[in-house]
Amino acid sequence: MAEAILSKLGGIEFQVTSAGLEPGSQVNLLVLEVMNEMGMDLSHKKPQNAFILFKESRLFYPCHHSMQCGNRCKMPCLPRHQ
């Protein structure tokens, strides 16, 4: 959802990629419904794996310290904003 919203609002100013540590096989149907209500069709999207994108140098800041992994993944993280 964040990827789609930032892509729409930021236009060409941002290169946005979203991924998860344990992505599902498809985008959550509730997410598709909500985003469709906001005028964004995500039916063509497929969940991506953060580790694969990071290894391909396509993901530079894959998480925030507030993520539930607690940085157990050891991937570079952005600092949490207070």
pLDDT digits (tens, 9 = 90+) for 10-46: 888 777 888 888 899 999 999 999 999 999 999 999 9
* pLDDT beyond 70 at 65: no
Average pLDDT, the chain: 79
- The pTM of this model reads 0.62
Is-contact 75 56, C-beta < 8 A? no
Count Cβ neighbours within 10 Å for each residue of 19-41 and write b for 16 or more, e otherwise: beeebeeebeeeebeebeeeeee
List the helix and strand counts (H, then E) for the chain: 3, 2
User: Tokens in use for 54?
Assistant: 């990071």
